[in-house]
Amino acid sequence: MPTSILERDTLNAFTRHTHVALDGAADGPLAGMTFGAKDLYDIAGARTGFGSPDWWRTHAPATRTASAVQRLLDAGATLVGRTHTDEVAWSILGENAHYGTPVNVAAPGRIPGGSSSGSAAAVAGGLVDFALGSDTGGSVRLPASFCGLYGMRPTHGRIALDGACALAPSFDTVGWFARDPETFERVGQVLLGDRTEPGMPGPLFVATDLFEACGDAVVGALAGALSLVSRAIPGRTDLALAPEGAASLAADFRVLQAAEVLAEHGAWVDATQPELGPGVRERFAFARTVTPAQVADATARREAFRARLHALLAGGGVITLPSAPGIALPRGAAAAETEAFRQQCMALTSPAGLAGLPQVTLPFGTLDGCPIGLSLVAGPGRDGLLLALAAALRIAVL
């Protein structure tokens, strides 16, 4: 199997210990294109690393290839390698204590974002045409914003996740990155398997509370992009997306995610006693403090919020909000700074996660010479609408 990508990879985007490369079909809609796959997708005959040396050590080689990867191969794309992920995919920063931090070429000296860190770095650095990631709490949307890429979190359950390591199943989704809207849409059509005309978007709901929470600098950096989107989608209405407070949504997401992660991996942690890195170790500790009563309360609030957003977006409505609260943090920032930033990020990513909605990050802004994205959120199953909007807007990646 070819290994040239490892020789060309100066960004620490690709794994060495789990490297696999596979040729795609001779023809198909993605023929001639190359991609990387986040190292939580199984490849038949190889071990999956999941960002953890202990996971790699304690799990046998996969018996089949994840269907999302296979679908891309069948469409003609060539897998050139596996990309780094944060440890057990439970972070949004891109810094892995065991394997290092991929380089963000769009913001030198800053994090790429995670947990799909290697996939974002590989696409931003031009090592592949596109890359497969996953998104639970923002793991595609945030790296796309930090690295100046198009990134997609589809409707929850829209794309099969068989053969992928789970984190929190009621939030986990397949996701992908591209540098240009044409490639982004082509990949989406293959993964979504739906060529149906998306229809006309509208009305546009501007989440003014979430813009204001990010501060004047972010609002200014995204003003041009917001103006463009407002012209493209009729019927603009400004609203408070989270009148109960975005921090409250993020807190509910944290409780529900932690409970699901512990249910998935608590027994493995107990049996293996893995050497967990900073941040991940504390999140597992928090998960053990979550009570059934807290889960029940958060679940009830989630269902009410989900019903409200589904009703709001019925018929083609689209919400716009910042993809991130700011540009990427410097690499190696202090723990207190990274945790505060993480909480700000989760306030923006939790709405779509809690409601199971598709969200696209568009690379339409810059701040202090670094990328920052604008997001569009649509109703359930309206993924094609977001792809069509991304292609129609056609702004050069900044």
* 184-198 residue pLDDT tens: 999 999 999 966 656
Which of 192, 221, 230 lies closest to 323, judged by CA? 221
Question: What is the pLDDT at residue 195?
Answer: 60
State the pLDDT at residue 199: 74
pLDDT given at position 131 = 98
- Give 138-172 pLDDT, tens digit per residue: 999 999 999 999 999 999 999 999 999 999 999 99
Structure tokens belonging to residue 380: 């359930």
- The strands making up 173-178's β-sheet, listed across from edge to edge, are 78-83, 34-38, 130-135, 173-178, 150-153, 359-367, 370-378, 318-322, 204-207, 237-239
Q: Give the model's pLDDT for residue 1.
A: 38
First to last CA, the chain: 35
Look at residue 396 in the predicted model and tell me its pLDDT: 36
Joined together, the tokens standing for residue 140 give 């595609």
Q: Which residues in the chain land under pLDDT 50?
A: 1-2, 396-398
Domain boundaries of the chain, sorted by first residue: 11-398
CB neighbours of residue 168 within 10 Å: 21
Nearest alpha carbon to residue 37 among 199, 164, 197, 223: 164
pLDDT of residue 197: 56
Predicted confidence at residue 196, as pLDDT, reads 64
> Virtual CA dihedral for 57, 86, 122, 368, nearest 10 degrees?
-160
Give the active site residues: 38, 115, 139
**Superfamily of segment(s) 11-398:** Amidase signature (AS) domain (3.90.1300.10)
